[in-house]
Structure 1
Amino acid sequence: MSCARTARDIITLKGSAAIVSEFFAYAANSILYNRGIYPEEQFSKVRKYGIPLLLIQDEAVKAYISSITSQLAEWLGCGKLQRIVLVIMSKASSEVLERWNFNIETDKEVVQKGVSREKSDKEIMREIQAIMRQITSSITYLPCLDEPCIFDVLAYTDRDLSVPVSWLETDARLIKNAQVVKLHAFDTSIHRVDTLVSYRTDDMGEQ
């Protein structure tokens, strides 16, 4: 007789949305730490996805990321979110230096019919863990950010979505002739997240 699957293996649309939005919060924190956007002493170590990660302790930044995460979960829960982009810019000139892209594919059948899917927590965790490790190792190939920087978050949603007034329309903040590095992907069986980083190289300013 085969063993019944545990409830933890059943993935619903709401549960998948929670996994993806939480992933983005941890990924954003990891990017901010590893790219030196805030001083090292402003982060504290936690354990998540089976590995040590760092979270910002600045209350304003924590609140900003938390509000974004909540909104992303809502959009993911109705299948309306296509992409999230964390943009790193020069504080002095607002020039875009890096774009961390999280492209999202949603199982439309789940959205339309309310069905669930199956995938083990451990498998999802392993896939997310691989991305987090790549973010940590990004300092080995990304150009050094040798000036004060700020960050912003862009969300690409379906056109028919009503967007809260706290989210402003903006341009894509693309980087001309950017170098691109594709990272691992993870899949909840409802949402698939493909990750890549594009960045400005030092010689671009000389062209």
Structure 2
Amino acid sequence: MSQQQTKNCITLQGSAQIICEYLKFAINSVLFQRGLCSPETFKTEQQYGITLLLSEDAEIKSFLTKVLAQTEEWILNKKISKLSLVIFNVANEEILECWDFNLQYEDGDAALSKENNETIGSKDLKQIQQKIREVMLQVAATISYLPFLDSRCSFDFFANVKADCDVPENWTVSEPVFIANAQNVPFKIFSTSLHKMETVVSYKFVD
């Protein structure tokens, strides 16, 4: 039993890395499916038992690396509750779509945490990856019902952080995202036993 518990131990650092890895693949999937990056810049990679896509564009990779590194730091310090990928019309800056990645903090395994003198989760990694796989398949399926983006669009990130959080110079304070006549589609929730992730896409509904 002790060996099984040790095998399933997940530290805060490990859990934050799992969350950010999911964000990397989910964001890349959205960028590809919504036509925000040239399709020829993507390469395939096997993860969670399925084939996923990652952009090889140098600027995109650098941008996402910085965003996710900062996000991981905020997660470790319990400063962030939501990261949003916002898609907007370049011509008039109207927000057309928003992918919210909502984060909740969990207590983990009390006995293991006391034994190791740090917060520990005990959820099986394979089970976590299976849940993430289900979410990624849902993300991939959204293209069938999301409205076609018929204007030139770009994207940005917004983070919902605590008021006492130190915000880097390359991040700016902004107003909450608002989409007129919005429709929301929630996806399955997954948990590492230290962090719970809920993904929701909101989009402008057009009759």
TM-score norm. by structure 2 comes to 0.91
- Name the structure 2 match of 1:86: 85
Q: Which moved more, 1:101-110 or 1:171-180?
A: 101-110
In the alignment, which residue of structure 1 is the partner of 2:134? 130
Q: How does 1:137-152 map to 2 (within 5 A)?
A: 137-152=141-156
Whether the aligned pair in 2 keeps the contact of 1:34 and 1:135 (CA below 8 Å) is no
- The runs of 4+ residues in structure 1 deviating greater than 4 Å are 108-111
Deviation at 1:39, TM superposition (A): 2.0
Give CA deviations for 1:80-114 in whole Å, capped at 9, x if unaligned. 11001100111222111100011110126889x73
Is 2:172 the counterpart of 1:156? no
> Which segment is superposed worse, 97-106 or 164-173?
164-173
Structure 1 partner of 2:102? 103
Identity %: 36
1:1-207 equivalences in 2 (<5 Å)? 2=1, 4-5=3-4, 7-107=6-106, 114-203=118-207
Distance (whole Å) between structure 1 residues aligned to residue 141 and residue 119 of structure 2:
38
Aligned residues: 201
Q: Secondary structure at the match of 2:3?
A: coil
- One-letter amino acid of the structure 2 residue matched with residue 78 of structure 1: N
Q: Secondary structure at the match of 1:184?
A: coil
The Cα offsets for residues 106-150 of structure 1, whole Å up to 9 and x where unpaired, read as: 126889x73211011110101111111011100111001122210
Q: 2:107, 2:193 within 8 Å by CA — same for their partners in 1?
A: no
d(CA) in 2 for partners of 1:9, 1:117: 8
Q: Show CA shifts across 1:122-180 (max 9, x none).
A: 10101111111011100111001122210111111111111111111111221023001
Is residue 84–residue 103 contact of structure 1 (8 Å, CA) maintained in 2?
Answer: yes
SS at match of 2:187: strand
Q: For residue 72 of structure 2, give the secondary structure of its aligned residue in structure 1.
A: helix
**Aligned to 1:53, what secondary structure does the other structure show?**
strand
Give the residue type in structure 1 aligned to 2:152: P
- SS of 1:176's equivalent in the other structure is coil
Contact 1:30/1:135 (CA < 8 Å) preserved in 2? yes
Q: Could you tell me how far apart the structure 2 residues matched to 1:165 and 1:8 are?
A: 40
SS of 1:134's partner is helix
Q: Please give the secondary structure, in 1, of the residue aligned with 2:45.
A: strand
Q: Distance in 1 between matches of 2:7 and 2:22?
A: 17
Local SS of the residue matching 1:175: coil
Question: How many Å separate the matches in 2 of 1:9 and 1:148?
Answer: 46
Name structure 2 gaps, 5 residues minimum: none
Q: Which runs of 5+ in 1 are unaligned?
A: none
CA distance in 1, matches of 2:139, 2:126: 20
